[in-house]
Amino acid sequence: MPTPVTVQEGGAGTQAWYGFSDWPPVDSRSLQLNLTAAGTLSDTSGNSSTANYNVPANAQSTAVPPVCGPVICDIAPVPTVPVPSDQKLVFDSVIFANDVVLSGRPTFHLKSSISATDTIFVVAISDVAPDGSAKQIQTSPAYFKTSHRDSHKFLSKIVPGELNEYNFPGYHNLYRIVKGHKLRVEIRGSDSGLHESAPAGNVVIATGQGGSFIKLQVRQ
């Protein structure tokens, strides 16, 4: 059954409000972008390879806890903490020759092995301008704990060094990436929005043929 929605478009466009008879919009199409060994997002997969990042010990949240009164809580701004290069992976698309509108819910399909018995994937999508400045498209990154691979109630046993597939969604959005910009996906194991620490260790992500990819719903 169609689900009518009214939503504001984000990004560097008009930021106008749009009404749709269904969501995702019926004129959306699926776009698969593969994570490649060259650090790119591509519609072709390239050669099989791997990339890895470290999760440091005690990488706890830097989020400020809310100050609560009898009725409401005042939540302080979350501080931004730079992530060292060895603690993240970054993948960039080509520069778009035309506007592309993200319209729906991205899904992430990661093939990974970890050295610990669990980890948390933090996946952020950003809009990168020609000057190199990046704006996170969604209010929050997607978070996924590997032990919740099959169920949130009955946790999965993660064997260190074993290659597994993890499929999870991001958040719904309507966002215009304008001509001349590009899309960036960053994967890491810590974030200021997390309220628990992932175990320390090394995370290996399979790239290229048979490896990891993301799927987007887009309009043009």
Summarize pLDDT for 54-69 with one digit per residue, the tens.
Answer: 999 876 554 444 444 4
Give the residues across from 125 on adjacent strands.
Answer: 185
Token pair of 110, please? 């990661």
* Nearest of 8, 7, 13 to residue 177 by alpha carbon: 13
Per-residue model confidence (pLDDT) at position 73:
43
At which residue do the structure tokens 């478009």 appear? 9
Set out the domains of the chain in order of their start, with CATH numbers.
28-219 (2.60.120.260)
Is residue 152 very low, low, confident or very high in pLDDT (cuts 50, 70, 90)? confident
How many of the other CB atoms lie within 10 Å of CB of 129? Answer: 15
What is the chain's alpha carbon radius of gyration, rounded to the nearest angstrom? 18
Per-residue model confidence (pLDDT) at position 75:
40
Q: Region 154-162: what's the mean pLDDT?
A: 94
Summarize pLDDT for 78-89 with one digit per residue, the tens.
Answer: 445 678 999 999
Contacts of 59 (CB under 8 A, 6+ apart): 87, 189, 190, 197, 198, 200
Per-residue model confidence (pLDDT) at position 80:
54
Per-residue model confidence (pLDDT) at position 79:
45
Sign for the CA dihedral angle at 63, 126, 144, 158 comes to negative
In the predicted model, is pLDDT for residue 74 greater than 90? no
